[in-house]
Amino acid sequence: MNGSDSKRVVITGASSGIGAATAQAFAAQGARIVLAARSEDALETIAETCRQHGAQVLVHPVDVTDTEAVAGLARRAQEWLGAIDLWFSNVGIGVVGKFHEVPITDHHRVIEANLIGHLNDAHAVLPIFIAQGRGTFVNMISVGGFAPAPWAAAYTASKFGLRGFSQALRGEVAPYRDIHICDVYPTFVDTPAIRHAGNYTGGKTSVPPGVLDPRSVAKAVVRLADHPHDTTAVGAPAFAMKLAQLAPGLTASSMNRFMGRYFAKADPAPATSGNLFAPPIDDGQVDGGFRRAEQRAAAAGIAGVLTLAIVAGGVLLSRRNDRR
């Protein structure tokens, strides 16, 4: 992109992590950007980093679970930008804990933000895309849309649902050759979201080795503005995680055992709903602070082991089916 073809972009969940990194990446390429999230202060922090690149930025606080508020965001964005080239639906929250030990209101909130919020985004911008005859809707999903995550059941439900929603929506817009529904599936990313999640495990949360830099995910999103693609996986283990569909029961039971052992040894942590119902006070950051040199060095090896384990599970499943 350059000044003559600068993109007009809306980003929800723009106050930290992947959303903030994507805003900065678009700003560096001359885009005009509307930033949306719950915290106006955090949005202004990210907006200032974008303006340092010379970008024009509009801050619009919104809770994506509020349908009318999201419709208002779309109207304001269209008025300010003149048109919308790309809408990045990026809000994502989570809560960790055994399903029956987590308050049901917390589960509901995860579904409202991660699934209904994205439906609200799409419902608000699709009429604009249809009227202008073009547009790209980018859904941030994660490999959680392919692999079940015990101890994060509502998160899994939201991501599986979001993947199905995107596939259905893609079918509906097929007659419009210049309207695209794009899904992005990163593995674990080093964002503040891990620290901000609800937690009812009794132990402190962390991330596995090989956690991604949010900027690598942002680059993938920016590429979609000029080269839309239905499905984009980011991270070395992404393909292996897709293979988890071959043996979902084995994957889920193995993950459940791992989570149980991990939190039994983790440093103690109090129960909290995290950022489910209000933005965190330390919002406005791109990085979560989890990346370490030894993690990056171990990433390739872990990806290989994961791939072999899942393929082996798939082969065993196939052989069992052949014997029936």
Q: Are 45 and 69 in contact (CB under 8 A)?
A: no
Please enumerate in sequence order all residues whose Cβ is within 8 A of that of 110, keeping only pairs 6 or more positions apart, or say none.
Answer: 93, 94, 95, 154, 155, 158, 276
Q: Are 274 and 198 in contact (CB under 8 A)?
A: yes
DSSP string, 159-227: HHHHHHHHHHHHHHTTT-TTEEEEEEEE-SB-STHHHHSEE-SSB-----TTPBPHHHHHHHHHHHHHS
Spatial separation of the C-alpha atoms in residues 137 and 128, rounded to whole Å = 11
Q: Is 155 a catalytic residue?
A: yes
Q: Return left, alpha or beta for 262; rule: phi > 0 is left, psi -120 to 50 is alpha, else beta.
A: alpha
Which residue is catalytic, options 155, 185, 200, 262? 155
What DSSP designation does 272 have? Answer: B
Any idea which residue has 């995290």 for tokens? Answer: 274
Residue ranges in the chain assigned as alpha helix (H): 17-28, 40-51, 67-81, 104-111, 117-132, 153-172, 193-196, 214-226, 238-242, 248-265, 293-323
Spatial separation of the C-alpha atoms in residues 131 and 116, rounded to whole Å = 23
Q: Looking at the annotation, which residues are catalytic? A: 155
